[in-house]
Structure 1
């Protein structure tokens, strides 16, 4: 029995985006591990420093489920980098506050994240770097801004900080 393969008429965009995203995440994980952080810990620290945010809001920003967020904040508390506090704006709400030590680590982790991104983009000529970023932003804010509804949803990749 013979079968004929279908002919691809377009580049495999899904593969290209998935593969490069996966490799970038592994590079980021390796780099952040040098200072004892995960990408999720980095994300929580950086976004908690920007504004007074609840654990639920930080989970939403970092695209984490509740269990993952609790484990992440527990690890940050254990390391002395963050703590759960009552909000100054709403005494019923609990926020994640970054400690002084956590702010120093967040500055280090942001420098690491910036370096990893710079190294990845550095593999491209400058004009192509700018074109890639422009194109990805157009897709992220346009056609690919909202996931499609499906009876069998695809697993969603975690968004980086």
Structure 2
């Protein structure tokens, strides 16, 4: 577990630094990526992004302030807000996706091809199987938006 934690921490830190260079955060990218052309509510996006409600509100406030996304009334539920990505948000998301792809290529490129495929295959099998859902825990670790930020 410590090896996975260390790898995730260093990768998340590098992604955070690289995305900051273009005015994006991993959480912001995660939300925009899940929201683009999806018609999802803020609550649905929080769940998809593994964010608690407070973190999602803060993230959406920042995205809205930057002109990257907008909250709109749901046509089917007036209590819910649908998140729409603006044109500026789409453009920045495309740049952020290129940054992330470049970091992934650089990181994975440091492994021989067979090890790269083995690592990705093993991690995929773990998160689709045994590690697909967290167990019940009285004091779980803080949730992070790693699912799409790193995946």
TM-score by length of 2: 0.91
1:87 aligns to what?
74
8 Å contact 2:27–2:145 — kept in the other structure?
no
| Count of aligned pairs between the two proteins | 147
1:58 aligns to what?
45
Q: Which runs of 5+ in 2 are unaligned?
A: none
Q: CA deviation at 1:156?
A: 4.1
Query: Runs of 4 or more off by more than 4 Å in structure 1?
Result: none
Question: Of the two, which has the highest radius of gyration?
Answer: 1
2: distance between equivalents of 1:131 and 1:50?
A: 33
Candidates 78, 82, 99, aligned match of 1:112: 99
Let me know the Cα RMSD of the aligned residues.
Answer: 1.4
**Higher RCO structure, 1 or 2 (CA under 8 Å, sep 6+):** 2
Q: Which runs of 5+ in 1 are unaligned?
A: 1-13
Using the TM superposition, name which of 68-77 and 148-157 deviates more: 148-157
Higher helix share: 2
Candidates 136, 143, 149, aligned match of 1:149: 136
Q: CA deviation at 1:71?
A: 0.9
> 2:70 aligns to what SS in structure 1?
strand
TM-score by length of 1: 0.85
8 Å contact 2:51–2:144 — kept in the other structure?
no
Q: CA deviation at 1:21?
A: 0.3
